Chains A and B, each alone.
Chain A
């Protein structure tokens, strides 16, 4: 089924992204511009640039170029001190490679990091930025994405999932196969190598789930050709329903940590309570 879904959207492959990547001649581990939209819907503007693409599962929309000027101003104010005035990761008087180069990462990457509150960075010494209250509004994030994207138009654009078409059961199977290794089967996240961690998925809006899967923020691998838009929508539906609103028999999930947490609570509360009752029964004076 999944293979059929992929093949049905495959005929309209646009290789704009990979063409750019080849001309850049990047170092071996760069992630730039590797996304290619494979779509049944493709909308171009007057100058032939793709501004919207996707299918009935997810549509991707490029930020309007009218926001470029605003985005540049916001970037200079909030981002340029580290990422440099050219968004290439080279701050003033800084060395190349000290901070991530943002050119060619695609608008969805920019909005994901800003909308999840990870950027602008609150703690520069931290190994890994944490999700938090966003410092900029979604509109401002889109504006910054518009300007960065204007430097080198690239994919993926900002996604909107249409979850009514998605299948939550398929999503569960795909989640177990692709996501659970790091995020755990309950979606709570876990520790990884070298002081990094996979974050919890309990409180993430649907479009950011898609953004994370498609762009692969930080240490997360990106899932592009190996997951179709239908499959990504399935996973997103599973995350935003079953993972984020779990049906906990007994009413308290205990962090989804399984029998360890449950046994601990059983011992501490249950046995403790029983001991107090025994003490009350035996106490006669």
Chain B
């Protein structure tokens, strides 16, 4: 304590005696702690130097990380220990004066603003008008990129897929699906031939082909010819938000959407049994040609995927 005072300007301790506990370090034996901290700093410095050296020689990344990490960690530990064990332990409280001005000062300022404001600051209607016009036009211009970034208009593409009368049903490799291919309880994702590698094919045309029987299967009244030899096909786009409905539970005969757990009854026209989906998955009418290939009778009879404003124009449905 005494040798420190030699180098420093004496400060008022506000009536604290030098023996006050708050001025003493926390460590019982400051000399030892100082030595430990010195060693910590030294080793940390060595690590930092080693980091520089290993950077210089292009060492492996983990060596760079380890040396830098260890160096900074040890310097930090030393610093914290210095503050914690060697500095006066405190706490010290400094009282402060009131911050507010006197009442007279505040009244004078208010009077000055009122007096000068009326004569110096004038309204500039022309400038305000031009500025307002500019800001208004900017507001309108700011809408342009918003509208442009919506992309090209979908036109008819929302209403039709690439499935056509006679489209061959192919899997993701382009192989035509034959009536002998699927066992009962099997599922495969299929596309109209030629679209299996296109963005549009994978986004819009994707369809799940499920074999639920080995006899013609009717999922709903009016669809008597749509499921030849137990093959039924539904659009793979969830009618809620368009996620791929790929989870087929073949005992429960449910198609489950992985996004929001909508469940569609496979044996009953894929009507939604649970979840937020508002409509059944559209069913693709199929037939089997003379070679045993599975083909589409026609496009879907309604737009696939989630709803949109103009949807009711083709379906007459509100949802």
Q: Which residues of A contact B (CB under 8 A)?
A: 1-3, 6, 13, 15, 18, 21-22, 26, 28-32, 34-36, 177, 181-182, 192-194, 196, 216, 218-226, 281, 284-285
Contact = CB atoms under 8 A, between A and B. Distances in A.
Contacts of B84: 281, 284
A133 B214 CA distance: 36
B210 to A, nearest CB: 8
Interface in B203-227: 210-215, 217
Contacts of A192: 247, 249, 256
Contact of A34 (B173, B185, B249, B251): B185
B261 A29 contact: no
Interface string B89-101: 1100000000000
Interface string B249-274: 11111101010010100010000001
A193 B263 contact: yes
B183 A35 contact: yes
A216 B89 contact: no
Given A13-B180, A18-B180, A226-B186, A31 B174 contact: no
Contacts of A223: 186
Contacts of B172: 177
B219 to A, nearest CB: 11
Contacts of B187: 221, 226
A181 B267 contact: no
12 contacts: A28-B213, A28-B217, A29-B253, A35-B183, A177-B172, A177-B189, A194-B252, A221-B187, A221-B250, A222-B250, A224-B181, A226-B188
A177 B189 CA distance: 9
Given A3-B175, A177-B189, A193-B256, A31 B183 contact: yes
B26 interface: yes
A3 B173 contact: yes
B252 A220 contact: no
A-B interface, 7 closest residue pairs, ranked by CB to CB distance from nearest: A34-B183, A225-B181, A181-B246, A224-B183, A226-B188, A219-B249, A3-B175
Nearest to A194: B252
B23 interface: no
Contacts of A29: 184-185, 212-213, 253, 267
Contacts of B89: 284-285
A4 B157 CA distance: 34
A22 B214 contact: yes
Given A2-B173, A3-B173, A225-B182, A28 B212 contact: yes
Given A28-B215, A220-B250, 8 more contacts: A2-B175, A3-B175, A28-B217, A29-B213, A34-B185, A193-B254, A216-B185, A219-B249
Contacts of B217: 28
Given A222-B250, A285-B89, A193 B186 contact: no
Contacts of B183: 31, 34-36, 216, 222, 224-225
